[in-house]
Structure 1
Amino acid sequence: MKRSELPYLDDLRAFEATARNGSVRAAADELSLTHAAVSRRVARVSETVGAKLFRKVGRGLVLTPAGESLRDACRRSFDDLLRTITSIRNAEGTSDHAVLLSCERSVAMRWLIPRLSRFQDAHPDVKVHLSVGGGAIEVQGNGAFLALRRLDFALDDGWTYQPLFPERVGPVMVDGMRARFEAGDYVALVTKTRPDAWDRWLVANPDAPRPRDRLGMDHHFLMAEAACSGLGVGLSPYVIAADDVAGNRLVAPFGFSPDGSDYGLVYRAGAALSEEAQCLADWIRSTCKPLGNRSD
């Protein structure tokens, strides 16, 4: 096979993102592409390789042996490219010493971004590049890197973390829906990222009213907006709904109870944080304290 016959880099990126996320939809969100575009790119890779790369299991995708081999090769190649490009940038003095902060999409939109200007005002010399993402941590070059994650997955050996606050969830709604909620005449808003969250919460709260119907949402930030609009009752993490509850846009009649997981600040193991990254990490820990101290 000639080099000219290799798949396009964009097609390989779509394949690797799909393999890592186990979903074309999740890969499309990550790459800011449509579902159809990612599917086409993955299909082109499969055609070029001459082998089936995925098989469907339920609603998800599982790699075939050929797909696993190609995924591993892509990861090695992409990691090598990142290291090489970062090394060149640093050698040429083009690094801006910014801190790359990766944060889950809903947490970024509903909690972090409304507060980030306070950090920038207090530390104007520290540049922060914000990236949204969830789950397993990708290699992010050699620069300063932090990730704010709900730690419901195993960390690779190259990463370590500091716990920040426990994950606590509870039903939230506009105050005008409280009577309907107590009567069981409400729609439960369900997110695709945690499809069984309501079932687990109802088991843990057997005296709580059961919903008459359910409505799916892609992400928690959409669920929170839907709850604020009176569309239904969301089962929300406290970090997502904290500002709306504090501002009386939402009420939480059952409070928020721990689900057994924690949020943490993830960074490279065995390497000291840069001055800029340490400054940002200290600010995040301080800003997170109310999330861990509240006793709803």
Structure 2
Amino acid sequence: MSRELPSLNALRAFEATARLGSVGGAARELHVTHGAISRQLRVLEDELGSALFVRQGRGVMLTATGEQLRDRVASAFDQLRHGWAELRRDRDGSPFVLGCPSSLLARWVIPRLERLEHDLPTLKLHLSPEEDPLAPRHAEPDAALALTLPPWPAGWQVHVLASERIGPVVSPRYAGLARLLERGISALGEESLLHTQSRPQAWPAWANACGISPASLHYGQGFARLFYLLEAAVAGLGVAIAPAPLVQDDIASGRLLAPWGFRPTDASWILATPGRRSDHRIEAMVAWLRKELARDAQL
């Protein structure tokens, strides 16, 4: 009578060999001999009554049966790895690493850290400034907070938090403020608008939403990052464009005005997690971020 499950050691040897395409590579990864891997593979082939690999050069290639087994085994081992990693994080108190662009970090996350610590007291948060936290060249965080347009990046599970809303902001100290308020939104066509190189589509997106031709806009000083752009606006250097949550505190304190309000765009605030990572802390972060962004939208 056959067993319900084959040897787990044999399945582990098979998964490593299929993933690496080499018996020798699997032996090195699992710290066993080449012969031990070969014996475990023969156990599986004997139980299935079918070959799993054929030799190809110095490596091996999966047969049709091997491909079917690989698809099932790889998924199972991925779940085991993620589950084990989550248990270890819980036991050793590993911090939750959140990748975040520096402008969002400085102008939105940090001002809300005290509230985050109060609402999620067991979360050990580690903030990792990354201008593009979704880029594969960066070390993989537990999650990435971003303000971006679809399509969402491959290899990430994306939780949409809120739609983006943007609008012009200006300091009460700006020399041309009285003229702008008197003449209304059309006067922006005569301004040298402050803009950011990281979001060149912001002003055109807002103009389209307002029924204004983007071609009628004129640009002045540009800044590499949104954070610098908004500091320039606070200093009274001109009219800037900004996502509403990043300037709510400045508007509340009177440091900035938003005379024409904010309009939705096609971009969204998202929290993205690598692959199929399972981490109960993600759900708590998603719920908290959605609550905070909804709170901002009511201000």
User: Which residue of 170, 173, 176 maps to 1:173?
Assistant: 170
Q: Does 1:246 align with 2:252?
A: yes
Q: Which moved more, 1:102-111 or 1:168-177?
A: 168-177
- Partner of residue 123, structure 2: 126
Inter-CA distance 195–157: structure 2 relative to 1 (3 Å threshold): closer
Looking at structure 2, the residues matched to 127 and 206 of structure 1 have their Cα atoms a distance apart, in angstroms, of 46
Looking at structure 1, the residues matched to 231 and 208 of structure 2 have their Cα atoms a distance apart, in angstroms, of 26
- Deviations 1:220-239 (CA, angstroms, capped at 9, x unpaired): 11111111110000011112
Instruction: Specify every segment of 5 or more residues in structure 2 that has no aligned partner in the other structure, as ranges.
Output: 1-80
- Partner of residue 189, structure 1: 194
Conserved in 1, the CA contact under 8 Å of 2:133 and 2:145?
no
- Partner of residue 78, structure 1: none
Letter paired with 1:130:
L
Looking at structure 2, the residues matched to 155 and 201 of structure 1 have their Cα atoms a distance apart, in angstroms, of 22
- Partner of residue 199, structure 1: 204
Inter-CA distance 165–156: structure 2 relative to 1 (3 Å threshold): closer
- Deviations 1:78-98 (CA, angstroms, capped at 9, x unpaired): xxxxx9xxx8xx69x995411
- Partner of residue 160, structure 1: 157
Superposed displacement of residue 187, structure 1: 3.1
Conserved in 2, the CA contact under 8 Å of 1:193 and 1:218?
yes
Q: Does 1:97 align with 2:102?
A: no
- Deviations 1:153-194 (CA, angstroms, capped at 9, x unpaired): 543443212211111111100235432334556431110112
Letter paired with 1:152:
L
Q: How does 1:107-122 map to 2 (within 5 A)?
A: 107-122=104-119
User: What percentage of residue pairs aligned between the two structures are identical?
Assistant: 30
Conserved in 2, the CA contact under 8 Å of 1:135 and 1:153?
no
Conserved in 1, the CA contact under 8 Å of 2:206 and 2:263?
no
User: Which residue of 130, 133, 146 maps to 1:149?
Assistant: 146
Q: Does 1:136 align with 2:141?
A: no
Letter paired with 1:225:
E
Looking at structure 1, the residues matched to 245 and 211 of structure 2 have their Cα atoms a distance apart, in angstroms, of 24
Q: Which moved more, 1:228-237 or 1:238-247?
A: 238-247
Conserved in 2, the CA contact under 8 Å of 1:136 and 1:155?
no
Looking at structure 2, the residues matched to 280 and 249 of structure 1 have their Cα atoms a distance apart, in angstroms, of 30
Conserved in 1, the CA contact under 8 Å of 2:149 and 2:266?
no
Inter-CA distance 126–243: structure 2 relative to 1 (3 Å threshold): same
User: Which residue of 248, 255, 262 maps to 1:256?
Assistant: 262
Inter-CA distance 163–277: structure 2 relative to 1 (3 Å threshold): closer
Inter-CA distance 121–201: structure 2 relative to 1 (3 Å threshold): closer
Looking at structure 1, the residues matched to 211 and 111 of structure 2 have their Cα atoms a distance apart, in angstroms, of 36
Inter-CA distance 165–226: structure 2 relative to 1 (3 Å threshold): same
Conserved in 1, the CA contact under 8 Å of 2:100 and 2:133?
no
Superposed displacement of residue 277, structure 1: 3.9
Looking at structure 1, the residues matched to 205 and 289 of structure 2 have their Cα atoms a distance apart, in angstroms, of 30
Conserved in 2, the CA contact under 8 Å of 1:189 and 1:214?
yes
Q: How does 1:1-296 map to 2 (within 5 A)?
A: 96-133=93-130, 134=132, 136-138=134-136, 140=139, 145-177=142-174, 178-181=177-180, 182=183, 183-184=187-188, 186-206=191-211, 214-274=220-280, 276-293=281-298
Looking at structure 2, the residues matched to 172 and 260 of structure 1 have their Cα atoms a distance apart, in angstroms, of 20
Conserved in 1, the CA contact under 8 Å of 2:195 and 2:222?
yes
Letter paired with 2:178:
A
Looking at structure 2, the residues matched to 226 and 180 of structure 1 have their Cα atoms a distance apart, in angstroms, of 20
Superposed displacement of residue 282, structure 1: 2.7
Inter-CA distance 208–250: structure 2 relative to 1 (3 Å threshold): farther
Inter-CA distance 202–126: structure 2 relative to 1 (3 Å threshold): closer
Conserved in 1, the CA contact under 8 Å of 2:161 and 2:269?
yes
TM-score by length of 1: 0.59
Task: Please say which structure displays the higher CA radius of gyration.
Answer: 2
Instruction: Specify every segment of 5 or more residues in structure 1 that has no aligned partner in the other structure, as ranges.
Output: 1-82
